[in-house]
Amino acid sequence: MKRIIILGSTGSIGRATLKVVKENPDKFEVIGLSARRNTSLLNKQIKEFRPSYVSILDKGKAKTLRINKGLKILAGEEGLGELSKKECDILVLGVPGLSALKPLFSCLGKAKKVLLANKEAIISAGEIIKERAKNRNTELFPVDSEAWAVLNLLKKEDREDILCVYLTASGGPFWDKPKEIIKNVKAKEAIRHPVWKMGKKISVDSATLMNKGFEVIEIKRLFNIDSENIKILIHPQSVVHAFLEKRDKSLISCMFYPDMRIPISSGLGIDKFSLKGKKLLLDKIKGLEFFLPDYKKFPLLNLAYFVANKEKSFPTVLVSADEEVVDLYLKGKVGFSDISKIIERVIAKHKPRDITSLEDVYYWEAWAREKVKELVF
């Protein structure tokens, strides 16, 4: 039995992971679950999976949690930190944005393997995390669908033969809409993703294509590929997740039905004969389309390449400014087109410095959030 901890168990990634656990009841022992405030779902998960630890970020909600025999309830950021330090075979990082950074840092050396759904932590503190993971023998395993596709493709190829990597993007809800129409779209339209059912933050990032820009930096970090060799294609059917272009002019692709259970099952080590995710039936797809993204309509993509190139503290500032602005957008305080304008201005103001510790990351996170507030209020 593999001992598993799921951070963000009430979210889209957390629920998909628990579905896989449920499909394989003899393979996993759920030792820890965490949520921010959704105690009604967390209570159902406690009843069903009987973890030893549960962590709730909102301390006020702790008293509404179900008390199982032998269950320890942890609360607040300290609680999440304590849960991340428990020994386990696999920890699933399904919390959004920079809230994942501390738990990821803490679990290295305690978890044998970390399934990385969150990409912001690896973007903002990449080298620090990678080095600590290496020194403490924790495997970092990406389950973000494009990163997982690249991992699979690279496994089978000689790196010398690879010219570049293509990442595909569904394009979100607005990729083919005129610029004037998307200027003022409300959050409820922006989070209506055409393919995936995901949390609000990543759904807005998909609508602005910031998420794809983040993936360029993520792939560069995880697989040491220069950003100029990472290209993006809009692919509305979302069944091809990545291509490799080889020197012999052939392309090889990784295709699978857009179901997060597929990369998650792979990360959990489910053998291919008992895998339950949906099968991709090519004869049911009307066609496969690929388009170049409109960099003028989605300027955050260009900005991500600039940041990926410059490195230093730029990625931390990009991720932090985006998190702050998207939060303001979801609260109705700024418009859709303001998201890219504000982030561009924050990046323009930034004088990059080296990132050598978590303290540096937090310093530049605070700096970027403050700059966003200065520009908005």
Ligand X SMILES: NC(=O)c1ccc[n+]([C@@H]2O[C@H](COP(=O)([O-])OP(=O)(O)OC[C@H]3O[C@@H](n4cnc5c(N)ncnc54)[C@H](OP(=O)(O)O)[C@@H]3O)[C@@H](O)[C@H]2O)c1
Among 4, 18, 21, 57, binds ligand X (CB under 6 A): 57
Among 104, 108, 117, 129, binds ligand X (CB under 6 A): 117
Among 38, 52, 309, 337, binds ligand X (CB under 6 A): 38
How far apart are the C-alpha atoms of 49 and 15, rounded to whole Å? 12
| Residue 126 binding ligand X, by CB under 6 A | no
Binding mask 199-238 for ligand X (x = CB under 6 A): x--x------------------------------------
Torsion angle (degrees, nearest 10) of CA 52, 37, 111, 68: 0
Work out the number of other CB atoms within 10 angstroms of the CB of residue 206.
25
How far apart are the C-alpha atoms of 9 and 35, rounded to whole Å? 6
| Residue 14 binding ligand X, by CB under 6 A | yes
Pick the closer one to ligand X by CB: 203 or 313: 203
Pick the closer one to ligand X by CB: 223 or 353: 223
The stretch near ligand X (CB under 6 A) out of 6-14, 176-184, 319-327, 336-344 is 6-14
Among 3, 36, 113, 261, binds ligand X (CB under 6 A): 36
Among 198, 209, 240, 342, binds ligand X (CB under 6 A): 198
Pick the closer one to ligand X by CB: 11 or 299: 11
The stretch near ligand X (CB under 6 A) out of 36-44, 66-74, 230-238, 309-317 is 36-44
How far apart are the C-alpha atoms of 355 and 126, rounded to whole Å? 9
| Residue 136 binding ligand X, by CB under 6 A | no
Are 90 and 2 contacting, i.e. CB atoms less than 8 angstroms apart?
A: yes
Residue of 226, 179, 170, 176 lying closest to 202 (CA atoms):
170
- Backbone phi, psi, residue 226, to 5°: -60, 145
**Binding residue count for ligand X, defined by CB under 6 A:** 25
Render the burial of 228-241: b for 16+ CB within 10 Å, e for the rest: eebebbbbbbbbbb
The stretch near ligand X (CB under 6 A) out of 94-102, 131-139, 285-293, 360-368 is 94-102
Render the burial of 38-59: b for 16+ CB within 10 Å, e for the rest: bbeebbebbeebebbbbbbbee
Q: What are 162's strand-pairing partners?
A: 246
With CB atoms as reference, the residue minimizing the distance to ligand X is 11
| Residue 260 binding ligand X, by CB under 6 A | yes
Pick the closer one to ligand X by CB: 19 or 353: 19
Measured between alpha carbons, how far is residue 372 from residues 192, 205, 337 in Å? 25, 17, 14
Largest CA distance in the chain: 62
Q: How far is the CB of 114 from ligand X (least distance, A)?
A: 13
Residue of 97, 105, 42, 49 lying closest to 74 (CA atoms):
42
* Residues 6 or more apart in contact with residue 163 via CB below 8 angstroms: 229, 245, 246, 247
DSSP label of 313: T
Among 3, 5, 10, 191, binds ligand X (CB under 6 A): 10
Pick the closer one to ligand X by CB: 77 or 374: 77
How far apart are the C-alpha atoms of 101 and 361, rounded to whole Å? 10
Among 29, 196, 302, 310, binds ligand X (CB under 6 A): 196
| Residue 54 binding ligand X, by CB under 6 A | no
Which residues are near ligand X by CB under 6 A?
8-14, 35-38, 57, 80, 94-96, 99, 117-118, 144, 196, 198-199, 202, 260
